[in-house]
A and B are shown apart, each in its own frame.
Chain A
Amino acid sequence: MYEFKGTLPRYYSGNVCYQYNLQKPCKSLRIRMEYMPTDREENAKEFTEIVTQQLYKAYNRMPSEDEINTALKGVKTEIQLAVYLNDEFLGNIHNPSTVKDMLFDESSERTIGCIKAKPPFFGKLKIIVNSFYVIDKEVSYTVQVETEEA
């Protein structure tokens, strides 16, 4: 099993890519990404000024406190996960959960967001951690890759 750890800085929009070869055919492949956002509400508050300006521009008037607070609820850290094997799409988990878990094997049900890929799995594995925005001062994540040889 491989475990990769990293941190993403505040405001980061971009990706981190792990790419290596599965040198032996595997009958199962599990990829799990988890990130640990800190206090979202507290961190979102620090965006009050930017959000107020954005709302002011949109409405052409000063937004109310309620409007600002409602908008701040939508301000969030968002990180998603995509996986390719030999440049072929295996899956992408794009949802609000902070844990993304993909399992590819013969017998399990298809992971939602992923195709039903059939083993053996080998060759170039590409794992993309897609960071859409980070509101924490920094956010830590781990990516685990678990394989079972065929």
Chain B
Amino acid sequence: MIKRVELHNHTNESDGKLSIYELADYFTENEITAFALSDHNTTSGIAPLREYKKDKFELIESCELTTYYGHIVVHNIKENIPWDDINTENVDVLFDRAHAQNAIAGIAHPFCPAKPLGNGIRFELKVNDYKKVDFIEVVNMCCSYELVNSKAFALWEDLVIEGYRISPTSGLDLHVKAEVSNIYKTYLMLDDTFKNKDIATQLDFAIKNGLVLVTREPIIEINDSKVSVTNFDKYKERECYVTVVTKNGVKKLTDYKFDINLGEATVIKVHDKNDKIIACRAVFRK
């Protein structure tokens, strides 16, 4: 099963314009039926939204810990996480607090502009142990690809190749109604045994096991050691190509079916003709 999830959204519970109900209606009207409510420093909208049109969508219960020095998105949150004791030299404690309640946590838009252009939106907190980071938002749709997202892709890739089990995610960082079709999307690439599990379980498993695809369009499928990019002929016509990164280096491929070594940390990317990454997945080191 492949499931689209929108993982970074705000409402008027913090600084967004939509109410929680308008957000849910907007997504369901656009056939996005699994999404996070991730307001800044508050979980206040979660309980009321849980009771709204229950059979129409799956709610990912989240919060964006919005500190003075960077943002951390927490999914499957059970209760609000305090951060007023933030220490720039050790952000690990916030990840520990998230994990203590079986939540998953990752870094949002790590390379956004620093102060005074952005008040705390650039990630300037020291992570002492990247094993605690479950995902990195490699694409934030409010940010420029060249200035911000390309650097986030590079950070994520380096960490995966070093052996960290960090999934990539994308986020609309929605504050007002915005384009939801022609954008980078995040998909959970799970097998059918997960069909009847709840969204929290699906997301948790996918993030922790690298079963996450971030893409503008191409679907990268991995079955055992076999990798394929669906409909690659279409992308080949557009001069797209694939790169496979391991600790041994980068291989550029023009074929859309290839084998990888499952024991080795690997990043698979599809690029457009301008070298921009348009899809990516990781295989974690065993």
Residues on A lying within 8 angstroms of B by beta carbon are 13-15, 17, 47, 50-51, 54-55, 58-59, 71, 74-76, 78, 80, 82, 84, 87, 89, 91-92, 94-96, 110, 112-116, 128, 130-133, 135
Contact = CB atoms under 8 A, between A and B. Distances in A.
A112 B82 contact: no
Interface stretch (B37-45, B92-100, B237-245, B274-282): B37-45
Given A13-B69, A130-B84, A58 B113 contact: yes
Interface string B104-122: 0000000001111111100
B79 interface: yes
B44 A112 contact: yes
B83 to A, nearest CB: 9
Interface residue SS majority, chain A: mixed
A92 to B, nearest CB: 4
Contact of A47 (B42, B43, B68, B116): B116
A27 B217 CA distance: 55
B178 interface: no
A75 to B, nearest CB: 5
Counting chain B CB atoms within 10 Å of each CB, the highest count among A50, A96, A112 belongs to A112
Contacts of B118: 74
B44 A110 contact: yes
B84 A82 contact: yes
B77 to A, nearest CB: 11
Counting chain A CB atoms within 10 Å of each CB, the highest count among B44, B80, B82, B120 belongs to B44
Nearest to B121: A132
Interface residue SS majority, chain B: loop
Nearest to B64: A94
Size bracket of the B interface: 20 to 34
A51 B42 contact: no
B114 to A, nearest CB: 7
B198 interface: no
B157 interface: no
A141 B15 CA distance: 20
A111 B80 CA distance: 16
A13 B79 CA distance: 25
A18 to B, nearest CB: 12
Nearest to A75: B116
A54 B84 contact: no
A55 B40 CA distance: 26
A128 B15 contact: no
B250 interface: no
A140 to B, nearest CB: 19
B1 interface: no
A133 B80 contact: no
B147 interface: yes
Given A94-B39, A94-B66, A113-B44, A13 B120 contact: yes
B33 to A, nearest CB: 25
B12 interface: yes
B209 interface: no
Contact of A132 (B12, B44, B120): B120
A46 to B, nearest CB: 10
